[in-house]
Each structure stands twice: as structure tokens, then as C-alpha cells.
């Protein structure tokens, strides 16, 4: 189901088969695990058994001596570059922390942190060698929960972490790496004017991105310093730049060849194995391949930050929000860098609130360094705010959607972080679910209905596209964006639309970092927006060149030739007409091949997206099991280039949200060890757990994109946890404020309610 606005497109808005579909369905697509090179060695990584320990020494001599072992590498093999802070496209990071997260130097700060890499002639020898590496640890007490980590006297993870308090370095050693605040209006006056105020506290679990394909990297370091890396990554250029920084090696000497990717969700932006494979290749002179096990993925790669959040909101008599305050502390994991800024931007973004304040903290704990996960830090914030909103509506006696609509953000609304919204689709998205028949289905006993809305701002960044016209009028399109969700096709469609071609006429390739202009990560819901825009511009470039060719062919000035509806024609001589394919066949006689290219870096124009849910659940009062009966998601895509892939993103994000809501979490032992690092024990939703996810694409075109695209990948994971919590409340009358809302927590809450 889709609400369509705007221009009458030929290709955009249709649902062609994805270009890479057959190869992926038939198992022919080449993933990182498929890479095999002549003379290749196999690597394994030794990982810390402790959540927190000082490394006194590492003795690799016995491992090196094992027959079949070709090299062992440790942090000592990194060049002796002074520590520095650098921006690698995902926020400023410290080089030392970046390196320590790849191979620990002086400390380990989470169980599973890499300590050494081994390359051997086969995987079994490499594994055997791990046991021969002797690491002398001084074991320290761990701290794995954000509030405990913030306390005075908590075990200190880093001597070098000092709290950055509202932008100023306090010099105070602490696990709080930074504290950020946004203020709007007069908070005290706002709350003073409130008729109803609700304040609640919440906690959310550490959850993993849960991609099926484990991290992998194969590297070959030639004696002339040329380093080639094959890897599954969300951003080949970002991987290149991280490896360049970690190894202090020029970007022009590094080629990253992106392989097909089996899911990322933000977790395949950081590099883990790539530099280790590179160091081992440099030492051995052979290509070296590394693949993580599933426990490695859980214990050593970025989950989303767990959080503690307190939200206080006030409304006036008329049901208008007058004040809101949020305190949010996020678990960065072993090194600073939870995306707290994003959380602060999103927390109150769905509403017009004249007086507001957000305090947000980046806190290190002895867990794996967190990584971006689909709208990072926004789902945690929405979980808190949307439950409070539900309670406010109830106290006001208003329908929860009417209450939200009354306060909904619109064009011109100023967010707490100071940004003033351009044209957005918050109201339209809320109306879409309000008008959905699923909002009116009668409920049975023990069933409840919840709604919620969430926001994600999306990003622009840099993208490049080149396009070469074939003599049959098809076009080879080259781009640098890892295709996770069908973006080869959504980019190709935008190119095709400009030139009156079919999606199938475009032959898109995702190429290595040497073969296309700089292109940022597949993340931030940016690819269809920004790389699609680059494709639009490259098509304009091709069109302009083709006009010159037509003019040459007809021996008329180029300004006498126009292009419309797929046809090049002479303005005043109707006999002179050629469609794109006819003209393509004549390129050879008019000067040779036509190649177009474009780069974009949209600084403004990125359009934020809103997603809203209606969820119906049934709660078993005896077991506490929550069954999702119906799940509806409406989302403003701006313009849905390929509606099926937009729906896929909406469904995928919703399902992950259901996982966060009901099942997923890292269980930690007292010693800070993850106790459930397998898919048997870490439960992501399966098809049996889920209803069909109903989707409604709302289209409020983004004025900052040629086709109105906003970006769709992240917003749908933001509201589900709150919507499910609100539905559980509807079914049971108890409000759960801790994620996940496991059966035992439901039962406990019901028992507490019964106990009165």
C-alpha cells in the first residue's frame, strides 16, 4: 500500500527485479568468505578471556615455532605513530583506541578483545598456535552497566579518558567520556506551566546487529607497499581510510575490494580483521584470510549501546506539550564513542516542544566497543519518550494518535538541538496509521494495541558515480556504495529515469576503491538519496554529451537539440528525432564513447524520516509471553524509488525492533563474560515469532533531492519497542520500562500489579 504524490515517473516507483537478484538467490554472488588467492594463508585471532585486565607481556615464541605457522602479529607491529584524534566519517576517534580495539596493547577492556593474530598454512594449525601464545594478564574488576560505570569509585577502564563536559575537557578521569547538552526555551517555566507532568526511567539492553555473515578480511601486502583488501564492508572507502590510519599507510597504496555483504546494519562500518590480515600478509609475503566465528562476532564486534534513560514531559490543559527533559546515558563499550549526538537529535524530534533540555552521556563499560546499529541511539530514546507520551495521552483522556498529531513536528518546528525542520512528513505518517483499518480491529481479552512514532535524520555525505554508454543503448554504471538492500537497482532506476531508459537497461557495478570516486559508507539511510543523486547528475552529464552528439549528427548547433520523454529532437525540424538507443548506436560516428560522471556532497537537503507503528499483542498472563498479532508500519520515504525495497527496509527494521522489544540482550556473568554468544542462546525473532508486517509508504517528497528521496533504512527500527510496550500496557495495564520485555519481566510486573 502506498500513498503517491508528485511527478509522473516511468521507472521510479516501479518494482523491477534487482540486478543482483539471480546471483544471490542461486548462491553465485561472491562474499568475503569466497575469496581464495594463490598461496593464501589462514589466520586466527587470539582474544582476551578477561573483561578487564592489564597486559603485562605477550610471548609469541612458542606459537611462532609451531610447524606450519608463518607469522604472529600483535599491537607491537603497528607503526609507532603518536596518538591523535581523527574523523573517519563516523565521528572523531582516538588512533590509540582504534588500534587497541583491533589488537590490544596495554589493556583489554572487554572479553573477546583481539590480542594477537596468527597466520598459518591451514586454519587448524593457526588455531592450535593460539593456545601457545602466552599472555600475562593482571586481571581487574569489570563494570558492565552504565550507571555503575558512572559511579565514583567504579573500576576505571582508561587512565586517558577524562570527561568532556559540555564541550570542555574537565581533566577528570572517569568512565564518562563526554556529556553533551541541548537546551531550548525555558525549561523551568515550561514545567511550571504544565497541567500534567510524567517522569519515568528506562533501561535498554545491549543488542547485536545480528547479521548472518560473520566479519571477514583477506589481505595481500606487496613488497612495494601496495595493500589490497577483500572484505565485506559497508564502506570500502571508509575501511580504506581506517586501515590507512591504523597502519599509517597512504590511502593511495591501499585498495579495498568490497565483496557482497551478508548484512551490516551499521556493524560492518568499523574495521576489525582488515589490519590484522594486512600485518600478517606484510610479515609473511602471502595473502592472509581471516573469518570470525559467531562467538567472535557477538563478543568482539559492535553491539548497540545499552542505556539508562530518564524522561520527564509536561502538557498544558489543552494537551499541548510545554516542556520536556531527557537524561540519557549510553554504554559506549570498551572505548568511547557511542553515537550520543544522534540520540540527542532524535529524542524529542517528533514534537513541537517550546521548552526542552537533553543531557546525554557517553560512558565506557567492559563490553565490546559499540558500533552504529540502524538509527544509532534513536530507538532507545524513542522507547522512553513514546511510553511517556502514551501515559500523558491516557492522563489527558486523549486518543494517543490525536495527542501526537496535536503536538506533531511540522515544517518550521525547532528541535531541541536547534535545527529547524524543512518540509517533513510527521503529520502525514501519523495520519496514515490513524486512518489504517488495523487501528480499528476489535481486540480480545489479554490483547492490547500500542502506537508510537520515531524519527531519524538521515545523512548525505559523499558519493560518486560514473556511467558508460554501450552501443546498444544500455549503460554500464559504476558506483562505490555497498549494496545491502537493493541499492544497485534504486540507483540505476534514478539514472534510467533521467534518460528514458528501463531499469534493466542499466548495468550497475559496485567497484573497488581504485575504480570509482570517493563514496562514503552505506549507512545513515544515505545511498538511495546521495548515490542516487550522483546517478541523477551523471545521467545529466550523459544527456548533455548526447545532445552534442545529436547536434553533430544533424549538423545543427547544440542549443537546437532538446531531450524530452526519452527522445532527442531538433527544436524546429520534426524529422530529426532519435531515442536514446538510436543515438547510442551512432556514437561511434560522432566522436566515440560517451562516459558521464558526477560526484555529490549534499550539505543541505537531507530529508529526515518518520516511522510510526500500530502493534497488537496478546499477553499470556501465566507465562508472560508476548505474541505480536499484528504489526503495521507507516513511514515517510519522501519518494519511494523502488517501493518493494522500501517495504523491505520497513519490515526488516520493524522485525529487529520486535527483537529488541521482546527477546534480544547480552547476558553477562559477574566476571563480565557474555553468557549467550550463539544464535541458540541469543534469540533473534524467527518467522514463527512474527506476523506479516503491514507497510504503508507515505510520500512527502523531500525538496532537497531531485526525486524527493528521503532515505528509508533506519527510521523503522525506532518506534517498535515503545509501540509494543504500549500494547502490552493495553493488554495488561502494566507499563514495562526495561528492554527486553521478557516473559519473566512481564510476569514480575503482573505479580507486582496484583500485589497492588
CB nearer to its own copies: give 541 or 647: 541
Residues 6+ apart with CB under 8 A from 406: 319, 320, 398
Q: Shortest gap between Cβ of 151 and its own copies (angstroms)?
A: 41
CB nearer to its own copies: give 472 or 681: 472
- Residue from 157, 142, 170 nearest 106 by CA: 157
CB nearer to its own copies: give 433 or 506: 506
Q: Shortest gap between Cβ of 173 and its own copies (angstroms)?
A: 34
Cite the beta strand spans of 251-386 per DSSP E: 254-258, 288-291, 303-304, 307-315, 321-333, 356-364
CB nearer to its own copies: give 224 or 559: 224
Three-class secondary structure of residue 533 per DSSP: helix
Contact at 8 Å (CB) between 472 and 581?
A: yes
Radius of gyration of the chain (CA): 27
Q: Shortest gap between Cβ of 86 and its own copies (angstroms)?
A: 12
Q: Shortest gap between Cβ of 286 and its own copies (angstroms)?
A: 9
Q: Shortest gap between Cβ of 495 and its own copies (angstroms)?
A: 14
Contact at 8 Å (CB) between 566 and 575?
A: no
CB nearer to its own copies: give 555 or 622: 555
Q: Shortest gap between Cβ of 458 and its own copies (angstroms)?
A: 17
Phi, psi of 208 (to 5 degrees): -100, 155
Separation between Cα atoms, residue 537 and residue 128, nearest integer Å: 54
CB nearer to its own copies: give 50 or 705: 705
Q: Which residues pair with 612 in a beta bridge?
A: 453, 634
Contact at 8 Å (CB) between 20 and 94?
A: no
CB nearer to its own copies: give 418 or 593: 593
- Residue from 730, 721, 452 nearest 617 by CA: 730
- Residue from 20, 21, 12 nearest 643 by CA: 12
Q: By 3-state DSSP, what share of the chain in percent is helix, strand and coil, each rounded to 5?
A: 30, 30, 40
Separation between Cα atoms, residue 239 and residue 461, nearest integer Å: 15
Q: Shortest gap between Cβ of 216 and its own copies (angstroms)?
A: 14
CB nearer to its own copies: give 485 or 517: 517
**Residue entry with cell 530514546:** 381
Q: Shortest gap between Cβ of 345 and its own copies (angstroms)?
A: 22
Q: Shortest gap between Cβ of 647 and its own copies (angstroms)?
A: 22
Where along the sequence are the contacts to its own copies (CB under 8 A)? 21-23, 26, 28, 30, 34, 36, 38, 220, 222-224, 226, 250-253, 255, 285, 462, 464, 466, 468, 470-472, 474-476, 478, 505, 507, 509, 511-519, 588, 591-601
Q: Shortest gap between Cβ of 648 and its own copies (angstroms)?
A: 19
Q: Shortest gap between Cβ of 112 and its own copies (angstroms)?
A: 30
Q: Shortest gap between Cβ of 33 and its own copies (angstroms)?
A: 9
CB nearer to its own copies: give 171 or 592: 592
> What is the number of alpha carbons within 13 Å of residue 157 lying toward its C-beta?
35
CB nearer to its own copies: give 104 or 475: 475
CB nearer to its own copies: give 225 or 733: 225
CB nearer to its own copies: give 162 or 476: 476
Angle 487-499/643-662 helices, nearest 10 degrees?
A: 150
Q: Which residues pair with 58 in a beta bridge?
A: 135
Q: Shortest gap between Cβ of 476 and its own copies (angstroms)?
A: 5
Residues 6+ apart with CB under 8 A from 470: 476, 584
- Residue from 556, 155, 199 nearest 387 by CA: 199
- DSSP secondary structure string, 587-639? SGGGTS--EEEEEE--SS----EEEEEEEEEEE-TTT--EEEEEEEEEEE-SS
CB nearer to its own copies: give 30 or 558: 30
Q: Shortest gap between Cβ of 80 and its own copies (angstroms)?
A: 21
CB nearer to its own copies: give 225 or 703: 225
Say if strands 626-636 and 162-165 run parallel, antiparallel, or are unpaired. unpaired
Q: Which helix (H) or strand (E) holds 441?
A: none
Q: Which helix (H) or strand (E) holds 128?
A: helix 123-130
Q: Shortest gap between Cβ of 245 and its own copies (angstroms)?
A: 12
CB nearer to its own copies: give 193 or 515: 515
Contact at 8 Å (CB) between 390 and 738?
A: no
Separation between Cα atoms, residue 190 and residue 550, nearest integer Å: 65
CB nearer to its own copies: give 198 or 475: 475
In degrees, rounded to 5, the angle at the alpha carbon of residue 378 between the alpha carbons of residues 450 and 733 is 25
Q: Which residues pair with 663 in a beta bridge?
A: none
Q: Which region holds residue 301: left if phi is over 0, alpha if psi is between -120 and 50, else beta?
A: beta
- DSSP secondary structure string, 46-78? EE-SSSSEEEEEEE-HHHHHSTTEEEEEEGGGS
In this structure, what C-alpha cell is assigned to residue 740? Answer: 527486553
Q: Shortest gap between Cβ of 423 and its own copies (angstroms)?
A: 24
Q: Shortest gap between Cβ of 559 and its own copies (angstroms)?
A: 21
Helix count and strand count (H, E) for the chain: 19, 32
CB nearer to its own copies: give 255 or 449: 255
Amino acid at each position: 500500500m502506498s500513498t503517491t504524490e508528485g511527478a509522473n515517473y516511468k521507472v521510479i516507483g516501479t518494482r523491477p527485479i534487482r540486478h543482483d537478484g539471480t546471483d544471490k538467490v542461486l548462491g553465485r554472488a561472491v562474499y568475503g568468505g569466497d575469496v581464495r588467492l594463490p598461496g593464501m594463508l589462514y589466520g586466527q585471532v587470539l582474544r582476551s578471556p578477561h573483561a578487564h585486565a592489564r597486559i603485562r607481556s605477550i610471548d609469541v615464541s612458542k606459537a611462532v615455532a609451531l610447524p606450519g605457522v608463518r607469522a604472529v602479529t600483535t599491537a607491537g607491529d603497528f607503526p609507532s605513530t603518536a596518538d591523535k584524534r581523527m574523523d573517519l566519517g563516523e565521528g572523531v576517534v582516538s588512533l590509540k583506541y582504534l588500534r587497541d580495539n583491533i589488537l590490544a596493547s596495554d589493556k583489554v577492556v572487554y572479553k573477546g578483545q583481539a590480542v594477537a593474530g596468527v597466520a598459518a598454512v591451514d586454519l587448524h594449525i593457526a588455531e592450535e598456535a593460539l593456545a601457545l601464545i602466552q599472555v600475562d594478564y593482571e586481571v581487574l574488576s569489570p563494570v558492565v552497566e552504565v550507571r555503575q560505570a558512572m559511579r565514583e569509585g567504579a573500576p576505571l577502564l582508561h587512565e586517558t579518558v577524562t570527561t568532556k563536559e559540555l564541550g570542555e575537557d574537565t581533566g577528570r578521569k572517569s568512565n564518562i567520556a563526554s556529556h553533551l547538552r541541548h537546551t531550548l526555551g525555558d525549561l523551568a517555566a515550561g514545567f511550571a506551566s504544565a497541567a500534567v507532568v510524567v517522569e519515568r526511567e528506562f533501561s535498554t539492553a545491549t543488542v547485536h546487529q545480528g547479521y548472518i555473515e560473520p566479519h571477514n578480511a583477506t589481505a595481500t601486502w606487496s613488497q612495494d607497499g601496495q595493500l589490497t583488501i577483500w572484505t565485506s564492508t559497508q564502506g570500502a572507502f571508509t575501511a580504506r581510510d581506517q586501515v590507512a590510519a591504523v597502519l599509517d599507510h597512504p590511502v593511495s597504496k591501499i585498495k579495498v575490494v568490497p565483496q557482497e555483504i551478508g548484512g551490516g546494519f551499521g556493524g560492518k562500518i568499523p574495521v576489525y580483521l582488515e589490519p590484522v590480515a594486512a600485518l600478517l600478509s606484510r610479515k609473511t609475503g602471502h595473502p592472509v584470510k581471516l573469518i570470525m566465528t559467531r562467538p567472535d562476532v557477538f563478543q568482539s564486534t559492535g553491539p548497540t549501546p545499552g542505556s539508562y534513560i530518564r524522561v520527564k514531559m509536561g502538557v498544558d490543559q489543552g494537551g499541548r506539550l510545554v516542556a520536556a527533559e531527557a537524561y540519557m546515558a549510553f554504554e559506549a563499550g570498551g572505548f568511547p564513542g557511542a553515537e550520543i549526538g544522534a540520540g540527542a537529535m532524535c529524542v524529542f524530534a517528533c514534537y513541537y516542544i517550546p521548552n526542552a533540555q537533553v543531557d546525554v552521556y557517553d560512558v565506557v563499560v567492559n563490553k565490546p566497543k559499540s558500533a552504529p546499529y540502524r538509527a544509532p541511539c534513536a530507538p532507545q530514546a524513542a522507547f522512553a519518550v513514546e511510553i511517556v507520551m502514551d501515559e500523558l495521552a491516557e492522563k489527558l483522556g486523549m486518543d494517543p494518535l490525536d495527542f501526537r498529531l496535536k503536538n506533531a513536528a511540522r515544517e518550521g518546528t525547532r528541535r531541541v538541538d536547534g535545527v529547524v525542520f524543512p518540509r517533513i512528513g510527521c503529520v502525514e505518517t501519523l495520519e496514515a496509521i490513524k486512518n489504517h483499518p488495523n487501528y480499528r480491529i476489535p481486540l480480545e481479552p489479554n490483547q492490547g494495541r500500542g502506537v508510537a512514532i520515531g524519527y531519524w535524520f538521515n545523512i548525505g555525505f559523499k558519493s560518486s558515480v560514473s556511467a558508460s554508454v554501450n552501443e546498444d543503448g544500455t549503460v554500464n554504471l559504476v558506483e562505490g556504495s555497498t549494496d545491502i538492500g537493493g541499492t544497485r537497482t534504486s540507483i540505476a532506476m534514478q539514472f534510467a529515469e533521467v534518460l528514458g531508459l528501463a531499469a534493466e537497461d542499466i548495468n550497475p557495478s559496485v567497484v573497488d576503491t581504485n575504480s570509482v570516486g570517493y563514496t562514503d559508507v552505506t549507512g545513515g539511510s544515505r545511498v538511495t538519496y546521495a548515490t542516487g543523486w550522483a546517478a541523477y547528475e551523471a545521467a545529466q552529464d550523459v544527456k548533455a554529451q548526447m545532445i552534442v552528439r545529436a547536434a553533430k549528427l544533424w549538423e545543427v548547433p547544440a542549443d537546437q537539440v532538446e531531450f524530452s520523454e526519452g527522445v532527442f529532437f531538433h527544436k524546429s525540424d520534426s524529422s530529426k528525432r532519435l531515442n536514446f538507443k538510436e543515438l547510442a548506436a551512432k556514437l561511434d560516428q560522432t566522436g566515440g564513447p560517451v562516459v558521464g560522471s558526477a560526484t555529490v556532497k549534499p550539505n543541505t537537503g537531507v530529508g529526515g524520516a518518520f516511522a510510526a507503528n500500530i502493534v497488537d499483542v496478546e499477553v499470556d498472563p501465566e507465562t508472560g509471553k508476548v505474541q505480536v498479532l499484528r504489526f503495521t508500519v507507516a513511514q515517510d520515504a519522501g519518494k519511494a524509488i523502488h517501493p518493494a525495497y522500501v517495504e523491505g527496509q520497513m519490515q526488516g527494521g520493524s522485525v529487529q525492533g520486535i527483537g529488541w522489544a521482546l527477546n534480544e540482550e547480552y547476558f553477562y556473568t559477574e566476571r563480565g563474560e557474555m553468557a549467550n554468544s550463539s544464535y541458540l542462546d541469543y534469540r533473534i525473532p524467527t518467522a514463527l515469532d512474527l506476523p506479516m508486517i503491514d507497510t504503508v509508504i507515505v510520500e512527502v517528497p523531500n525538496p532537497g533531492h531531485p526525486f524527493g528521496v528521503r532515505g528509508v533504512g533506519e527510521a523503522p527500527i525506532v518506534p517498535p519497542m515503545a509501540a509494543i510496550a504500549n500494547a502490552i500496557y493495553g493488554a495488561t495495564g502494566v507499563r514495562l520500562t526495561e528492554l527486553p520485555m521478557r516473559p519473566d519481566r512481564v510476569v514480575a510486573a503482573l505479580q507486582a500489579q496484583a500485589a497492588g
